[in-house]
Structure 1
């Protein structure tokens, strides 16, 4: 038996042998408040997944409730032949309580301009109700991405739709 494969098919079949740099999360900056007052010393936990790989890092809010997490880039084996589940989650640990402030998930990538803008300047009031947001993906013809968050954003004009999470 003899198979003839185009160079592209051949490259796709064997692409899993090489590692590719992927951005799993942009830089994240924000402020955490409770009843309108900044929370100092709250732990911000970022959990990122790509397929079965999990990456967790954390930071702590300063005296004014501000926090910052760096861009997260990893080298992974990636195949263009299969869809891969990708998730981002941000949680605040305060007084032995864990509160989710951001959740996004889809297949293959979450490296969208809309996510970069929203995560660049967030204000997270822990008593706010969780909202379901629809934000743009990479191209206008792509369906919007659903995100869960209780935060407000400096760049909220890019949000296509907002409703209470039910």
Structure 2
């Protein structure tokens, strides 16, 4: 059946949300991860008055059978001024911290009015409006 193990379903993210170049003050952020059933788990967060946000990591202790592959479908949507924006969509197949981007994103920003871009990654394709200055690999940990 498999041993219990720590699985990072969604690594922590922090950064800045803007709308037409100005901070997306108090924007509602909906983070969803679907991994063990079709319903998934949804959490709500809010940007502060400067448009800054911090989403903590989503970690579970679970059993993954030896012949099974973890797939956690991640999405982040933002509600601001009666508009809904999808800013992140990814299928995470690794269980480690910061595996999505291969490290921790530095200077993470999302202009809500930007179109989603396709980002080719070693373990899949991320569709996002986020941009980052660098990826810090020193904090990578294996779960």
What is the TM-score of this pair, normalised by structure 1? 0.70
**Bigger fraction of residues in helix:** 1
How far residue 25 of structure 1 moved from its aligned partner, in angstroms, is 1.3
Q: Secondary structure at the match of 2:67?
A: coil
Q: Which residues in structure 2 correspond to 1:57-68 (within 5 Å)?
A: 57-68=43-54
How far residue 113 of structure 1 moved from its aligned partner, in angstroms, is 6.4
Give the length in aligned residue pairs: 135
Distance 2:96 2:125 in 1: 11
Distance 1:131 1:60 in 2: 23
Q: What is the aligned counterpart of 1:152 among 126, 131, 134? A: 131
**Structure-2 change in CA distance of 1:20 and 1:110 (3 Å):** closer
Contact residue 11 and residue 100 of structure 2 kept, 8 A: no
Aligned to 2:114: 128
**Structure-2 change in CA distance of 1:106 and 1:67 (3 Å):** closer
Structure 1, unaligned stretches of length 5 or more?
Answer: 1-13, 138-144, 159-166
**Structure-2 change in CA distance of 1:106 and 1:113 (3 Å):** closer
How far residue 117 of structure 1 moved from its aligned partner, in angstroms, is 2.1
Distance 2:116 2:76 in 1: 13
Q: Which one has a bigger Cα radius of gyration?
A: 1
Distance 1:136 1:91 in 2: 24
Q: Deviations over 1:107-133 (max 9, x none)?
A: 454751625423x54211011111000
Q: What is the aligned counterpart of 1:91 among 77, 81, 87? A: 77
Aligned to 2:62: 76
Aligned to 1:36: 21
Structure 2, unaligned stretches of length 5 or more?
Answer: 138-143
How far residue 50 of structure 1 moved from its aligned partner, in angstroms, is 1.6
**Bigger fraction of residues in strand:** 2
Aligned to 1:117: 104
Moved beyond 3 Å, runs of 4+: 106-111
Contact residue 15 and residue 107 of structure 2 kept, 8 A: yes
1:51 pairs with 2:30: no
Q: Which moved more, 1:33-42 or 1:74-83?
A: 74-83
